[in-house]
Amino acid sequence: MKKVSLVIPAHNEEGCIEETVRAFHNELKRENIPHEILVINDNSKDATEEILKNLSKEISELRYINNIPPNGFGFAVRKGLDNFQGDCVAIVMADLSDRPIDLVKYYRKIEEGYDCVFGSRFIKGGKVIDYPKFKYHLNRFTNNLIKIFFGIRYNDTTNAFKLYRKETMEGLKPFLSHHFNLTVELPLKAIVRGYSYAIIPNYWINRKEGESKLKIKEMGSRYFFIILYCLLERWLSRGDYNKLKK
């Protein structure tokens, strides 16, 4: 069986990181899925590191890395993507907004041979719980624009919770995004470069502890930049970065 790695960026997540790690570890262990949980402690000022230190003594599949500056979501995830050891890798939020049972479904799907598995919260079987209204409308607007620009059916590109084969992730480098726009860069590059993907429904549940690290006012231009970059690659690269055909 393939080993799955979870990359979890964590900045001041003392209120939820233990619950998140335990929930994913217990579900994957119950399903007999080999795994590692790699938490990137992103310059936390609270007890996040102490919690991780104690948990790692109990859970052998858990390890953590302290991210050095520059800090931020994108840099933390990229640190994890440079250091994971599994055959496939998922980006998971520290606040338990993603369900472990959905990761199991992703894993079973990637076993069928896909290069990536993308979740969608906005297809039949998907669901969002306590999703902020303004964020919801902005999400749907952005994702519909991406669908039109790229001519794709996938309607939840901004969803961070996805699973990639290790070889696929290597084929998406180098990464450009420093912030949350990395969650858009990865799937768009995968699509543009010809990697196969499956789409399955997933849930998103708003955090109950701590505060969101996504600052919408700061992200508009950054999302636009990476969308434009991927469009230019699609139009102008002449397939230079495409997946090698066997």
10 Å Cβ neighbour count for 140? 14
Q: Is the pLDDT reported for residue 234 higher than 50?
A: yes
Using alpha carbons, select from 114, 124, 40 the residue that is nearest to residue 82.
Answer: 40
Q: Is the pLDDT reported for residue 246 higher than 50?
A: no
Specify which residues 198 forms β-bridges with: 117
How far is the C-alpha of 79 from the C-alpha of 39, rounded, in Å? 10
10 Å Cβ neighbour count for 178? 15
Across the chain, mean pLDDT equals 93
Token pair of 12, please? 């001041």
Q: Render pLDDT for 91-114 as a digit per residue (tens, 0 to 9).
A: 999 999 999 999 999 999 999 999
Instruction: Provide the CB-side half-sphere exposure for 225 (13 A, CA).
Output: 13
Domains of the chain: residue spans and CATH? 4-236 (3.90.550.10)
Q: Render pLDDT for 157-184 as a digit per residue (tens, 0 to 9).
A: 999 999 999 999 999 999 999 999 999 9
Specify which residues 62 forms β-bridges with: 37
Phi, psi at residue 56, to the nearest 5°? Answer: -65, -20
How far is the C-alpha of 113 from the C-alpha of 87, rounded, in Å? 13
How far is the C-alpha of 25 from the C-alpha of 31, rounded, in Å? 10
How far is the C-alpha of 169 from the C-alpha of 231, rounded, in Å? 19
10 Å Cβ neighbour count for 101? 13
Phi, psi at residue 128, to the nearest 5°? Answer: -120, 140
